[in-house]
Structure 1
Amino acid sequence: MADLPAEGRGAAPRRPTRLKLAWESDFAWKFRRSPVALVSFVVMMTLVLGAVLAPWIAPHDPFDPGTLNLMNGFTPPMEPNAFTGETFLLGTDDQGRDVFSTILFGLRISLFVGFAAVCFAMVLGVTLGLLAGWFGGWTETMIMRVADVQLTFPAILVAMLIFGIAKGITPIEYRDQMAIWVLIFAIGLSDWVQFARVVRGATLVEKNKEYVAAARLIGRSGPAIMVRHILPNVLSPVLVIATISLALAIIAEATLSFLGVGAPPTQPSLGTLIRIGQGFLFSGEWWILFFPALTLLALALSVNLLGDWLRDALNPRLK
């Protein structure tokens, strides 16, 4: 008599792996069924990987003066240079730097500033929102009034004010070295309000639920309840806000750099490259401005569309 298979002999069925469970979840199914989310994710990841792998995939190091040749300046895209005969995919700028390489290295600065600023704003906003919602009283009043006052000013103006003050108190010899960190601090400090308001409202709802009362009965302290019980239940809207805020932070960094108060010339971001290219737009060298601007548009649009999809996917009213 032939042996029965393992399942037939009473063996327990093999449990699906976490990867398979994640792939078969409703969230993954919605993601696979959304062309906008798929295209946005592919575009965003392509740009992120290009920035991360820039030192290895960039044809030239645009910030190494030893590799530059001024004779390659203003070379149009995909056309051989009249003097050196070299061809560049996206052309060169006035310094002879490969535009494709400068975009990859500029993406590194823009993405780093955007991610770091959003993380800083999220940590600050979530902390203040939890404190305001949990303690209430004068703590809530002070935090929310500061938030209301900050909301009356455009975020970019707040970021410029904070950047100017922080840069002014930084010693002159350290300003270029600290410029990126000051930029992160300025953008993050101008963007914490929306995190705080959302978390404060969610905390006011969650702290009156039964599981919080049960945690109090078994002797849990207030900070422990906030961190281990309430915080996990208010993270869904925070992640959506963080995704949308990432695009806004990248645009804010590009705006500040375009105005000359952001990334230093020695560490140019996409905004700095756009500012440089704007000076040559009307003289015929359109590619110096066009390709960095197109990259910034693709990055901000893909992150925004992905954030919009994530907001709808995590909205319980749309399920």
Structure 2
Amino acid sequence: MSASAPPGRRPMGLFSRIIDSDIFYSFRTSPVAVVAASIALILILAAVFAPWIAPYNPFDPRTLNLMDGYTAPMETSFAGNYFLLGADHQGRDVFSTILYGSRVSLLVGLSATLFAMTLGVSLGLIAGYRGGFTDAIIMRICDIQLTFPAILIALLIFGVARGLIPPSQQESTALYVLILAIGLSNWAQFARTVRGATMVERQKDYVAAARIMGVHPLFILVRHILPNVTGPVLVIATIGLALAIIEEATLSFLGVGVPPTQPSLGTLIRIGQQFLFSGEWWILFFPALTLVLLALSVNLLGDWLRDALNPRLRK
């Protein structure tokens, strides 16, 4: 007769290992991480489900009424519509514009971070493993790029890309150009970090054993070295996501981001600052507050993840 697990004590596999891990224990014992994760999760879910949560479609001209313009928060407009966070100069519901604008900001931030991480990790692995001339070339490019602010590099790449695209296609490709510009301006940090970790890992016995066995270098990089350098990459990616969201907002605020038909939080802030001194403060305040909460919560999660993955910083 085989032994069976006691009632109510079934093994839970991967979920059980996550619950019992040191990372999850560090997370649930850190009030800052819990609050930051809750805020980030709420904002992300609100953006994802914006079409079902938003009371209005702020970018459908058929639903706009100029009589709703400049309605203060929690007041009813002249047309009889109620707006929780007020309405802007075109009669658009500010709450709805924030939900839809957050979708664009998160899409650009996530896509740009994934692109920068893929490019930076790949070049960092190659530079750290090959060394020599290849390492020198990649690192000198990183050094040159890191001497300039990321926003200036993004502006340069955005301007060059827009100059190469025909005017008839610029609006339809603006989102992809923005992702490309932000991604190319942030890959160097991933490359430098992964390069240093790879140089340490390639000196270890398991890499030497793989070389002796004739394993292809690409397989060694992907199968053996990459899993051992993912910790720092995750930390940089989390913090880089917050920076990418802010960078996108800065570019949109400067008028070189997404088109007005796809406004992000930066575009909403640029529109709102025009009415700040005329008394319609809510048009600027609520999109700016959303951007601050989103970037701050993601940044705090990155700080917690850095401490949780570093054994020297554990208490």
TM-score by length of 1: 0.95
Structure 2 equivalent of residue 293 of structure 1: 288
Secondary structure of the corresponding residue to residue 85 of structure 1: coil
- Decide which of 291, 300, 303 is 1:305's aligned counterpart: 300
Structure 1 equivalent of residue 158 of structure 2: 163
Residues 55-93 of structure 1 show CA distances to partners (whole Å, capped at 9, x for unaligned) of: 111001111100111110000000111x21221000000
Structure 1 equivalent of residue 173 of structure 2: 178
Structure 1 equivalent of residue 3 of structure 2: 11
- Decide which of 146, 154, 159 is 1:151's aligned counterpart: 146
Match status 1:24 vs 2:20 = yes
Distance 1:18 1:201 in 2: 31
- Decide which of 183, 190, 201 is 2:185's aligned counterpart: 190
Structure 2: gaps (5+ residues):
none
Match status 1:201 vs 2:193 = no
Structure 1 equivalent of residue 52 of structure 2: 56
Choose 1 or 2 for highest CA Rg: 1
Match status 1:67 vs 2:63 = yes
Shift of 1:318: 2.1
Matched letter for residue 103 of structure 2: R
Secondary structure of the corresponding residue to residue 266 of structure 1: coil
Secondary structure of the corresponding residue to residue 103 of structure 2: helix
Shift of 1:15: 3.8
Structure 2 equivalent of residue 123 of structure 1: 118
Shift of 1:17: 2.4
RMSD: 1.0
Structure 1 equivalent of residue 96 of structure 2: 101
Distance 2:85 2:313 in 1: 44
Matched letter for residue 303 of structure 2: D
Match status 1:139 vs 2:131 = no
Matched letter for residue 317 of structure 1: R
Distance 1:38 1:206 in 2: 33
Find runs of 4+ consecutive structure 1 residues off by over 3 angstroms: 12-16
Residues 146-193 of structure 1 show CA distances to partners (whole Å, capped at 9, x for unaligned) of: 110011111100000000001111111110110010000000000000
How much identity, in percent, do the aligned residues show?
67
Structure 2 equivalent of residue 247 of structure 1: 242
Matched letter for residue 87 of structure 2: T
Shift of 1:216: 1.3
Secondary structure of the corresponding residue to residue 83 of structure 2: coil
Which deviates more, 16-25 or 158-167?
16-25
Distance 1:17 1:143 in 2: 42
Secondary structure of the corresponding residue to residue 226 of structure 2: helix
Residues 174-228 of structure 1 show CA distances to partners (whole Å, capped at 9, x for unaligned) of: 1011001000000000000000000000000000100001111222011110111
Distance 2:45 2:274 in 1: 29
Structure 2 equivalent of residue 5 of structure 1: none
Structure 1 equivalent of residue 106 of structure 2: 111
Secondary structure of the corresponding residue to residue 215 of structure 2: coil
Distance 1:15 1:301 in 2: 37
Distance 2:302 2:74 in 1: 35
Structure 2 equivalent of residue 222 of structure 1: 217
Residues 77-119 of structure 1 show CA distances to partners (whole Å, capped at 9, x for unaligned) of: 00111x2122100000000000000000000000000000000
Secondary structure of the corresponding residue to residue 76 of structure 2: coil
Shift of 1:128: 0.5
Secondary structure of the corresponding residue to residue 57 of structure 2: coil
Match status 1:76 vs 2:69 = no
Distance 1:251 1:263 in 2: 14
Secondary structure of the corresponding residue to residue 261 of structure 2: coil
Matched letter for residue 272 of structure 1: T
Distance 1:93 1:74 in 2: 5
Match status 1:87 vs 2:79 = no
Structure 1: gaps (5+ residues):
1-8
- How many residue pairs match? The answer is 310
Distance 2:93 2:128 in 1: 52
Secondary structure of the corresponding residue to residue 280 of structure 1: helix
Secondary structure of the corresponding residue to residue 24 of structure 2: helix
Distance 1:133 1:21 in 2: 33
Shift of 1:261: 0.7
Shift of 1:10: 5.4
Secondary structure of the corresponding residue to residue 94 of structure 1: coil
